[in-house]
């Protein structure tokens, strides 16, 4: 189970649902960001995040650009990054875009548990 998770999504409702699900699963330290730019600022202040759950389609800095910038930063490159999307076409090429895993919406407890096993061992 990850200790600290950063949830990045431009939808306040999606952020709230993910946070509630993660808390119910026992994750106590959850940061929220509304876009990639906000996420990068939070990561600079709290580099001890274990996992980033990021929507792909967002304004300002989207999920793909966010993953690219995280991978380019030596202090953050070790971070596990999971793309969250309803776009089933995203199954193709998500690893090449810098993501460690893909979580398809609608998100369920089972999908999150499977993701933790896959990404965090």
Domains of the chain plus CATH, in order, are: 4-120 (3.40.50.2300)
Task: Specify the pLDDT at position 2.
Answer: 82
Half-sphere exposure of 118 (CA within 13 A, CB side): 13
Along the 121 residues of the chain, how does pLDDT read in single tens digits?
A: 788 999 999 999 999 999 999 999 999 899 999 999 999 999 998 768 999 999 999 999 999 999 999 999 999 989 999 999 887 766 677 887 889 999 998 999 999 999 999 998 7
- The sign of the dihedral angle between the CA atoms of 100, 106, 111, 112 is positive
Average pLDDT along the chain: 91
Residue 69 near residue 35, CB atoms below 8 Å: no
pLDDT the model gives residue 87: 76
> Which residue, among 6, 1, 5, 9, has the nearest Cα to 84 in the 3D structure?
9
Confidence at residue 3, expressed as pLDDT on a 0 to 100 scale: 86
Q: CA 99, CA 84: separation in Å to the nearest integer?
A: 10
Round to whole Å and give the CA distance between 41 and 20.
Answer: 23
* DSSP secondary structure code for residue 59 in this structure: S
């Amino acid at each position: 189970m990850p200790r600290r998770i950063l949830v990045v999504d431009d939808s306040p409702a999606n952020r709230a649902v993910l946070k509630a699900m993660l808390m119910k699963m026992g994750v106590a330290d959850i940061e929220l960001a509304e876009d990639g730019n906000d996420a990068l600022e939070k990561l600079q202040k709290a580099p001890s995040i274990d996992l980033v759950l990021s929507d792909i389609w967002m304004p300002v800095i989207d999920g793909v650009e966010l993953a690219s910038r995280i991978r380019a930063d030596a202090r953050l490159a070790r971070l596990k990054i999971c793309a969250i999307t309803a776009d089933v076409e995203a199954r193709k090429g998500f690893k090449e875009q810098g993501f460690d895993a893909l979580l398809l919406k609608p998100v369920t407890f089972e999908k999150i548990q499977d993701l933790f096993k896959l990404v965090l061992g």
